[in-house]
Structure 1
Amino acid sequence: MRKVADIAITVSMAALLTAAFGLAAPRAHAQAGLEKLAGSKAGEKGQRLLVEADELIYDNDRNTVTARGNAELHYGARTLQADRVRYDRGTSRVFAEGNVRLTDETGALVTGERMELTDDFKNGFVDALRIQQTVQLKGETVRTRISAPRAERVAGEQSSFDYATYTACEPCKDHPETPPLWQIKAAKIIHNNETHTISYEDSTLELGGIPVAYLPYFESADPTVKRKTGFLTPRFITSTAIGTGVATPFFINLDPSYDLTLSPAFVSRQGVLGQAEFRQRLDTGSYNLRLSGIFQTTPSAFLPGPLGAADREFRGSVESRGRFFINEHWRTGWDLVGVTDKWFLDNYRIRNQNITTDYFREAVSTAYLIGQGDRSWFEARGYYFKALSSFDWQKEQPVVLPVIDYDKRIDGPQPIGGEVRFEANVTSLSREATDFQGIPRTGSYLFAPSYNGISYPLYETCTTFVRDRCIVRGLGGVDTRLSAQVSWRRSFIDDFGQVFTPFTYLRTDAFFVNPSRSGFQNALVNNITTVDDGFSGRVMPAVGLDYRYPFVADFGALGVHTLEPIAQVIARPSETRIGRLPNEDAQSLVFDDTSLFEWDKFSGYDRVEGGVRTNLGAQYSVVTPTGWYANLMFGESIQIAGVNSFRRGDLANVGLDSGLENRRSDFVGRFQLSPNQNISFISRARFDQRDFAVNRFETGVTARFSPFLPLETSLFYSYYEAQPALGFAHRREGLTASATYRITPNWFVTGSALVDFTRYLDNRDTFTDLYTAYLANPVGLAPVYSNPGLTYLSGLSLGGGYQDECTTVSLNYIVSPIATAIGVRERNQTVLLRLELKTLGEADLRQNVSSSMTADGIATVR
């Protein structure tokens, strides 16, 4: 018969064993032992020790108490299991023998053949020890393991493991004797439970059982520690301009709520790059501050001004980010980037998430306040844009402060009902110089290079404003606008299923414009006589009706079919002051299926659609019981009366070449197909109204073929006809593709490509050639472009790797575009090797393999 004893003792044996060998449990302070089995005293925090065994033996002659046969000791969430547990009252030692297993409340498991401890549990040892502990690392569950033929507890706070191994890898189920993917073997591993550190003496790192690295001594924090002072994984650096070196980050845990990381980087050509990052977590949020700087020893490695920073000895940056929650409805924060020069972050490979790196590089600094209610939204922001490419002129970049948006929706008053919506926006921006370009004759579709406001030979000469030669992207000076709109709509459904949605809105805008008119560069603006100076206003009332009549048929296994004709009519006066006001936020006009039934098709507040217009279309959809879905949509927009807002271009020519500039717009359509939840196909297009030629086409597919085939892939193709009035002299056409194939659950290969079908090559190789030509003839530069329409592999990534519960290894070859001084596209070819050993650290090795590389601010190396 199995005997059960429910005994109250001062401290549980399981708790003390857990403390004795470094697991997450409090250390014992009170005298306890199995001789208390007959007692009834309450245990720690009122808990009681439950002992289960096939038999309990009291031996008064030998002065021992023994629990034998499947012995289990339960204390709270902790359990000790063994074939036999014996307490020797004469020597004050406790012995657990045979398949000993100790589990604490965290799930950590200690196993061994024999455990021996003194009754105060400050000293003792374990034979054939194996410790398994579960920890959370970067959101993942990782199990760490330590095994040793013998472990000893010393002075109550330190555990010593002789000839031990440590790993975070799972053992092979079929062949547990096989070495794990990686492990550390050490003559001695010492776990200090007071400092929470693990030190390794005479250690070797093995990969697949093969020694690959030897370390006489190193130390790391134990898995229970998330933050501890010490060195982090070094980062290796190599660059033509800065040389070869290594960064050695050192983390300082100043307090549980804040820390400091010092990362000096020693590079052969430039000296020491210092970096320091301070982070602090508060009750309502967190913030960080990162400083970088270097006194260069070889500034001549960089291009001279104005194309590089060769004239600077000291270079540096300041970066900061903050996120704070004021209460459940309000939050605030900032992202700030400041640099001594536009090339610093790129030259020294300093990464920041607020910096865009594809083609055009810029750093965006912003501060914001956001409030959100059940049916309301408030956001106030300020922006500062720092240009980081050689061909950008900082004086053309705007400072935007503030941008305030407010959106509130309420139920309409009875008996009107419906929904009432109020929207408001305040935007104020300023720039020193007007951002403009000439309309292209021939040349690149992608880049619009200018230096100090001067257009280059891709474009018409634009030193004074001429409507058919110039586009003003942003006006110099101050531009402030206040906009407000109140709208109402309500849907009615009659007995036949027809849906009528009447709506109305009133939009008002107030502008204050003070263009900058000083300097040679702004001679351009002096010729724009149509721009309204000072205060001006605009009012746009509208009333409309949206009509839909869905016809629904259920064909059982063939699915539910829905045919829905849609008609919309909007009556309003013509837009006023077209071309007499700046346009900063409404330059991105895309007419397609998503904007066909928009009340106002402009993307921002600076423009407002006017005139009487009807939008007509229909859509057909099918949904089957098996999950098959298809949708087809087609329509057009017709200007009925008044001035067509899209026919008269503003300073940026927005509206022209959009497909809406004629009375009858281009046709737009969409086709979407999803045979199941793993495959999705979509196409959308815009067709010329006169001859049905394709002016815009996008199509793509995403697919996951598992479990039949471990493959994930996507393929997207885009085609845009030339829009000369908007600065695009040639068609734009390209293809993006990506795929990931899992050879096994652990091994994978991946790749992606960006193919440009319409590249236009520049006969000149560098910015210096063009800049020299400009100095010789600043007005009459002729087009120098040739070889149009070549296919060009703009971006490529190929790689593969291995990933399991303890290791990640990946190797990638990356070809990425670079926006160099005048927009000439170079390809940066990089090999990236990444290795991560869970709980130990990770390392990246990045090497550029280009035969020739041009980067902003760095002299070309060939």
Structure 2
Amino acid sequence: MNVGVRRMARFATATALASSLAYMLTAGGIAVAQAPAAAQNPAGAKPQAGAKPQERMVVDARELVYDKDNNTVSAVGDVQILYQGRTIEADKVVYDRASKRVIATGNARITETNGTVISGDHFNLTDDFRDGFIDSLRVVNPDKTRFTAPRGERTDGETFIFDKGIYTACEPCKDNPERPPLWQVRAARIIHKKSEQTIYYEDARLEFLGVPMAYVPYMSGPDSTVKRKSGFLSPKFLNTGALGYGVGLPYFLNLAPDYDLTITPTYLTRQGLLGQVEWRQRLVNGAYKIRATGIFQQDQTAFLATPLGAGDKEFRGSIESNGKFYLNPRWSFGWNVAMSTDRWFYKNYRITNESISSTTYLQESISTVYLNGQSETAWFDMRGYYFQPLTSTDWQKQQPVVLPVIDYDKRINKPSFLGGELTFNANVTALHRDATAYQQIPSQSAYLVTTPSYSLYDGCAVYQKSTCLVRGLAGNTARATAEVSWRRNFIDSIGQVWTPYASLRADVFSINPSTTGYANANATTIADTSDEMFGRAMPAIGLMYRYPFVAKTSWGTHIIEPVAQIIARPNETSSLRVANEDSQSLVFDDTNLFEWSSKFSGYDRLEGGTRANVGARYTGRFGTDGYANALFGQSYSIAGRNSFARGDLVNTGLDSGLDTSRSDYVARAQISPFKNFVLTGAARLNESTFEAQRIDAGATYSNSIFSATVGYGRYEPQPDLGIPRRREGLSLNGSVLVAQNWRVRAGVLFDLDKYKYDREVWRASYAAGTATIATYPNTTPFQTASTSFGVNYTDECTIFDVSYTQNYADKQVSGTNKDTRTIMFKLELKTLGQITYSQNLGGSSTGDGVSQ
């Protein structure tokens, strides 16, 4: 055997003998590190002329060995070869010219152009490194997903075949790399076709910590590079008494880069096949989606009959759609629509939708269509609303159809003739309602507050102002409002800030009440049934005074700022003629104490008379992270008629703390003595006794290990508004990191006033002879309203979450007579899929339309 061996300095050898290797390789030329001219090309071999830089090969090694007998060239010692964007590293690389194969041994590794790292004990590759066999194969992708196998093969430069392969998205344990990851898929063969972006598994089993948990003869799924690909999605499971056991298997159709379709058949053992289709499309200037759901019920007896349920309906379903399109950079058009055949469908069949607003006391589906435009100084919004109630206690005929609602705001900074800021606001609202919406004001007896029955007219079969509130009139109601206002800050030589203000507002109303076809014909006692149009105008002038005092101490910086404001207006007119639709919510607190336009929440009511608002603000900074701010103030009705003492059809303003000449006091404080800890509090105090009328308080602390939140609320009765009971509650929520990646959370809500109400109910029943001493409620102030508990595990490849919630029945408040207990489970394996499941435990509650 004739073997020629040359040993030289590292770079000289790589430079000189790379030319020989280049001569043997037919795929392209070689570029090597620069060396002295005498050392270049000593063998006389010439690189291929015209080779493109990206096709040339760069070889670096401690030595090169040329074997003429075997027609091979070997690079030995810390070998590194760069070719067509790939990098191969090994202890030794041998090129066999006859077979055009490259054999790499000893710590062999290939780094692909996309960052994928392929390593093994022994590589047998083609001369372009694209195809070949690898022993003890390990593949780590840029997203940290990884494959391992005793032996693997790559063909066509893009298909990997792993014999007895393992796939996981979990990183190996740093302390013990040989320990099995949290989860992995082990299969007889794993085939990864990059061109299809698909991974195929044959005879696969899913293992957790090395323990087999599930077996699948054959399965496939997209690889981690896929954003959209046709195929089955994670199954959905559900189980309720009315539906039976159910499983849904969504199938996603990637029809085009800009649109797709998802079909989800769900088989329910008691009700049959529930079908769902969702279409999504993205256009040049926006996107939209449409989802339709429907079922022909097999067992209608599982649900109550009308009007308490949909048991008399064979077909039930819903349709939802939302979208948004940009007409140009400033204007957009969109919609969010959800409609169902009945109010119980979403709840009965566990259908979720973004347009559904749901709390303990309110459930409704809100559909809207809108046109919006905005610039740096102006804003325009036009939309319409349709409300579908989702509870048994609401009546569709009492829900308004609102079309249109138009808002326009324009701000002019520093107008040339006035300076300061000039603003213009306009609003147009029109709505229609088939039947008048009433609410009975509960009456107070010696021991018990009577709660009105849930009925279409809510205890107001005959309207009386002292016992009934009118939430909305039947018929057509419309209003147009325009307001222009100006204000400007002046700072004098000693730092006092003076802000004059002036505004003019005009409203035009059109009210056409209707009494046709429904028993609430007593609406004639509320308003004239003929068309009525009237208007009102409200000019206002005002002045605000502020004088900030700044003090610096050794422990912080403090700013104390007394504030006084006076606004003069004529009396409000037509308050009893106005159908108050958008100003029914009034909470007097620190946020609206110094409100310029009106303390009412909407446009239908307007603040009149002359009013002064006074208070003081404090702001402090302590050290690096500590801060505090506070406000305390009061409002005075000093001339004219107090609008808040004059109740409208819903008594807005009464029991608000503003309905006396001297208002209640309002206060707010926020303190953070150090990082991650915040105390907040707000209160409204009676103006003569300082008794708390409204309290909101909370404390929050959080760090990487522990977080906790405490909330407290107390609201005194507002009998004129139909709220006869004091509401008081305490919430506790927290979470703690109990181990690496493991977090436990829990929460509880206490109804601190319910025990008083339960005892009042017993006393009234005892006085009536329907209760005994044995039934006396032996309760404590800490009556639990709801509890929750959850455990979460999150790492780089897995999310596991299980939670339990229980809402306790309170028929007097929410109309439910049974506790609601729900357990939810979620398992997400990165790149592989996720499974979610929720289950209601126990019986159904009154109001969900399900037979008991």
- TM-score scaled to structure 2, two decimals? 0.89
Q: How far apart are residue 185 of structure 1 and its match?
A: 1.1
SS in 1 for 2:753: strand
* Alignment-derived partner of residue 848 in structure 2: 856
Match of 2:731 among 736, 741, 747: 736
* Alignment-derived partner of residue 234 in structure 1: 235
Q: How far apart are residue 520 of structure 1 and its match?
A: 3.8
SS in 2 for 1:252: strand
Moved more, 267-276 or 439-448: 439-448
Q: Does structure 1 conserve the Cα–Cα contact (< 8 Å) formed by 2:28 and 2:48?
A: no
* Alignment-derived partner of residue 753 in structure 1: 748
User: Does residue 694 of structure 2 align to residue 696 of structure 1?
Assistant: yes
Match of 2:78 among 63, 70, 73: 70
For the residues of structure 1 that align with 2:451 and 2:265, how far apart are their CA atoms? 37
* Alignment-derived partner of residue 519 in structure 1: 517
Q: Deviations over 1:732-776 (max 9, x none)?
A: 111222111111231110012222223356999xxxxxxxxxxxx
TM-aligned CA distance change 1:816 to 1:33, over 3 Å = farther
For the residues of structure 2 that align with 1:820 and 1:270, how far apart are their CA atoms? 30
For the residues of structure 2 that align with 1:191 and 1:200, how far apart are their CA atoms? 9
Amino acid at match of 1:98: G
For the residues of structure 2 that align with 1:699 and 1:822, how far apart are their CA atoms? 23
Moved more, 496-505 or 229-238: 229-238
Amino acid at match of 1:587: Q
* Alignment-derived partner of residue 804 in structure 1: 795
For the residues of structure 2 that align with 1:350 and 1:817, how far apart are their CA atoms? 23
For the residues of structure 2 that align with 1:763 and 1:264, how far apart are their CA atoms? 51
Which has the bigger relative contact order, CA under 8 A and spacing at least 6?
1
Q: How far apart are residue 413 of structure 1 and its match?
A: 2.5
TM-aligned CA distance change 1:386 to 1:466, over 3 Å = same
Q: How far apart are residue 108 of structure 1 and its match?
A: 2.0
TM-aligned CA distance change 1:129 to 1:449, over 3 Å = farther
For the residues of structure 2 that align with 1:642 and 1:6, how far apart are their CA atoms? 99
TM-aligned CA distance change 1:821 to 1:631, over 3 Å = closer
Match of 2:414 among 392, 412, 415: 412
Q: Count residues in correspondence.
A: 805
- The 5 A counterparts of 1:603-618 are 603-618=601-616
Q: Does structure 2 conserve the Cα–Cα contact (< 8 Å) formed by 1:389 and 1:819?
A: no
- The 5 A counterparts of 1:31-46 are 32=27, 38-39=46-47, 41=49
For the residues of structure 2 that align with 1:468 and 1:660, how far apart are their CA atoms? 20
TM-aligned CA distance change 1:386 to 1:520, over 3 Å = closer
Q: How far apart are residue 801 of structure 1 and its match?
A: 2.5
For the residues of structure 2 that align with 1:647 and 1:518, how far apart are their CA atoms? 33
TM-aligned CA distance change 1:34 to 1:49, over 3 Å = closer
For the residues of structure 2 that align with 1:43 and 1:642, how far apart are their CA atoms? 94
Moved more, 210-219 or 846-855: 846-855
Instruction: Point out where structure 2 has 5 or more consecutive residues left out of the alignment.
Output: 1-8, 33-45, 762-769
Q: How far apart are residue 75 of structure 1 and its match?
A: 5.0
- The 5 A counterparts of 1:789-828 are 791-816=782-807, 823-825=814-816, 826-828=818-820
Q: Does structure 1 conserve the Cα–Cα contact (< 8 Å) formed by 2:31 and 2:58?
A: no
* Alignment-derived partner of residue 845 in structure 1: 837
Identical residues among aligned pairs (%): 48
TM-aligned CA distance change 1:821 to 1:346, over 3 Å = farther
Match of 2:464 among 457, 463, 466: 466
* Alignment-derived partner of residue 4 in structure 2: none
TM-aligned CA distance change 1:376 to 1:548, over 3 Å = same
TM-aligned CA distance change 1:209 to 1:31, over 3 Å = same
Q: How far apart are residue 33 of structure 1 and its match?
A: 5.5
For the residues of structure 1 that align with 2:158 and 2:440, how far apart are their CA atoms? 75
* Alignment-derived partner of residue 111 in structure 1: 119
Amino acid at match of 2:340: V
Q: Deviations over 1:255-295 (max 9, x none)?
A: 12211111111111111111111111222222111111111
Q: How far apart are residue 474 of structure 1 and its match?
A: 1.1
For the residues of structure 2 that align with 1:286 and 1:687, how far apart are their CA atoms? 50
Moved more, 146-155 or 268-277: 146-155
Amino acid at match of 1:713: A
Bigger Rg over Cα: 2
* Alignment-derived partner of residue 769 in structure 1: none
Amino acid at match of 1:839: T
For the residues of structure 1 that align with 2:451 and 2:247, how far apart are their CA atoms? 36
- The 5 A counterparts of 1:227-266 are 227-266=228-267
For the residues of structure 1 that align with 2:744 and 2:452, how far apart are their CA atoms? 37
Q: Deviations over 1:457-478 (max 9, x none)?
A: xxxx422332211111111111
Q: How far apart are residue 6 of structure 1 and its match?
A: 9.0
For the residues of structure 2 that align with 1:403 and 1:77, how far apart are their CA atoms? 60
Q: Deviations over 1:529-570 (max 9, x none)?
A: 479942211111111101011111111x31112221110000
Alignment root-mean-square deviation, CA: 2.9
* Alignment-derived partner of residue 627 in structure 1: 625
Q: Does structure 2 conserve the Cα–Cα contact (< 8 Å) formed by 1:321 and 1:334?
A: yes
User: Does residue 125 of structure 2 align to residue 134 of structure 1?
Assistant: no
Q: Does structure 2 conserve the Cα–Cα contact (< 8 Å) formed by 1:100 and 1:113?
A: yes
Amino acid at match of 2:341: T
Q: Deviations over 1:501-546 (max 9, x none)?
A: 1111111111111111223433231111479942211111111101
Amino acid at match of 1:565: P
Instruction: Point out where structure 1 has 5 or more consecutive residues left out of the alignment.
Output: 14-29, 136-142, 456-460, 765-781
Match of 1:506 among 504, 507, 511: 504
User: Does residue 715 of structure 2 align to residue 715 of structure 1?
Assistant: no
- The 5 A counterparts of 1:358-369 are 358-359=359-360, 360-369=362-371
Q: Deviations over 1:159-216 (max 9, x none)?
A: 2111111111111111111111111111111112332211111112111111111111
- The 5 A counterparts of 1:299-310 are 299-310=300-311
For the residues of structure 1 that align with 2:473 and 2:97, how far apart are their CA atoms? 92
For the residues of structure 2 that align with 1:78 and 1:447, how far apart are their CA atoms? 78
* Alignment-derived partner of residue 767 in structure 2: none
Amino acid at match of 1:235: K
Q: Deviations over 1:409-436 (max 9, x none)?
A: 1123335211111111111111111111
* Alignment-derived partner of residue 486 in structure 1: 484
SS in 1 for 2:346: helix
* Alignment-derived partner of residue 585 in structure 1: 582
Q: How far apart are residue 715 of structure 1 and its match?
A: 1.1
Amino acid at match of 1:90: A
Q: How far apart are residue 46 of structure 1 and its match?
A: 5.2
SS in 1 for 2:616: strand
Q: How far apart are residue 58 of structure 1 and its match?
A: 4.5
TM-aligned CA distance change 1:48 to 1:611, over 3 Å = farther
Q: Deviations over 1:649-688 (max 9, x none)?
A: 1111000000000111111111221112311111111111
For the residues of structure 1 that align with 2:453 and 2:98, how far apart are their CA atoms? 91
- The 5 A counterparts of 1:312-323 are 312-323=313-324
Q: How far apart are residue 47 of structure 1 and its match?
A: 6.4
Q: Does structure 2 conserve the Cα–Cα contact (< 8 Å) formed by 1:621 and 1:632?
A: yes
* Alignment-derived partner of residue 101 in structure 1: 109
For the residues of structure 1 that align with 2:286 and 2:810, how far apart are their CA atoms? 37
* Alignment-derived partner of residue 63 in structure 2: 55
Q: How far apart are residue 76 of structure 1 and its match?
A: 7.1
* Alignment-derived partner of residue 299 in structure 2: 298
Amino acid at match of 2:315: F
* Alignment-derived partner of residue 440 in structure 1: 442
Match of 2:385 among 367, 383, 386: 383
SS in 2 for 1:857: coil
Q: Does structure 1 conserve the Cα–Cα contact (< 8 Å) formed by 2:451 and 2:812?
A: no
Amino acid at match of 1:275: Q
For the residues of structure 1 that align with 2:814 and 2:646, how far apart are their CA atoms? 31
- TM-score scaled to structure 1, two decimals? 0.88
TM-aligned CA distance change 1:613 to 1:821, over 3 Å = closer
For the residues of structure 1 that align with 2:58 and 2:339, how far apart are their CA atoms? 64
* Alignment-derived partner of residue 831 in structure 1: 823
* Alignment-derived partner of residue 158 in structure 1: 159
For the residues of structure 1 that align with 2:29 and 2:465, how far apart are their CA atoms? 97
For the residues of structure 1 that align with 2:628 and 2:199, how far apart are their CA atoms? 59
For the residues of structure 2 that align with 1:343 and 1:818, how far apart are their CA atoms? 19
Q: Deviations over 1:47-86 (max 9, x none)?
A: 6543332234444443333333222233576432222333
For the residues of structure 1 that align with 2:588 and 2:625, how far apart are their CA atoms? 31
